[in-house]
Amino acid sequence: MLTHEARLRADGYEHIAGLDEAGRGCLAGPVVAAAVILPPGLELERIDDSKALSEQKRLDARAAIEERAVAAAVARCSPREIDALNILQAALKAMRRAAADCQPPPDFVLVDGNQWERDLVEAPWPYETVVKGDAKSQSIAAASILAKTERDALMRRLHDQHPEYGWEANVGYATQGHYDALREHGTTPHHRQSFTLFRD
């Protein structure tokens, strides 16, 4: 989990940020991204792809990340931005925002996935994409955990305003219950109008 970071530090980079996002496949809510710069050689327990961890382990890991990180930032793109840009571009924009908010700023970014080159050429940092990076890079895994926990907490707050959609449990994803609620109650300002919100 430290191989990518160690190689880049050997090349002279100091502040290497892992970037990841959460919520691309949801029907409602923002897409949330995080950027995390960890100290050299730090090995954090319980750091893995956020989807592979229980909720309590994610929260424990988040606390450890925030305590030990050199820098960490979370950013989002709203449902309206998603509708205007498309979900991929919005996710990449949220990752750019998170990286730009890091203090100290990154001098290199490790990005989960494989689409940064084509869609994010205007980003100011040298970069490397890592397919399934949240299972291969501790920095990306840490960003995955921050993005996921931040987004889940946000959707649970929105659940209090719109309890009929079940966001406390589905956090905006496309469950049968979510589709059933859309048919019965219609959409909210938090729904992504460019997505398929109704199905037979």
Mean pLDDT of the chain: 92
Q: Is residue 26 assigned to a domain? A: yes
Retrieve residue 63's tokens.
Answer: 């606390």
**CB 18 within 8 Å of CB 3:** no
The Cα–Cα gap between 5 and 152 comes to 28
Domain for residue 171, yes or no? Answer: no
The answer to the question of residue 43 being in a domain is: yes
Q: What is the CATH number of the domain that holds 130?
A: 3.30.420.10
Query: Is residue 191 in some structural domain?
Result: no
Annotate 153-177 with DSSP letters as a single string: HHHHHHHHH-GGG-HHHHTT---HH
Distance between CA 126 and CA 192 in Å, rounded? 32
Q: In what order do the strands lie in the sheet with 31-37?
A: 71-77, 31-37, 16-22, 108-112, 127-130
String of DSSP letters for 92-130: HHHHHHHHHH-SSPPSEEEEESS-HHHH-TT-SS-EEEE
**pTM of the predicted model over 0.85:** yes
pLDDT, tens digit (0-9, with 9 covering 90-100), for 74-116: 999 999 999 999 999 999 999 999 999 999 999 999 999 887 6
**Domain around 55:** 3-159
Confirm whether 39 is domain-assigned. yes
> Would 79 be classed as within a structural domain?
yes
Can you tell me the distance from the alpha carbon of 170 to that of 180, in angstroms, rounded to the nearest whole number?
13
**Cα 95 versus chain centre, distance:** 8
Does position 200 have pLDDT exceeding 70, yes or no? no
Q: Are 142 and 64 in contact (CB under 8 A)?
A: no
Residue 19, in any domain of the structure: yes
For residue 196, tell me if it sits in a domain: no
Based on the structure, what is the number of domains in the chain? 1
Q: Residue 23: pLDDT above 60?
A: yes
- Look at residue 43 in the predicted model and tell me its pLDDT: 83
pLDDT in tens, 158-195: 999 999 999 999 999 999 999 999 999 999 999 999 99
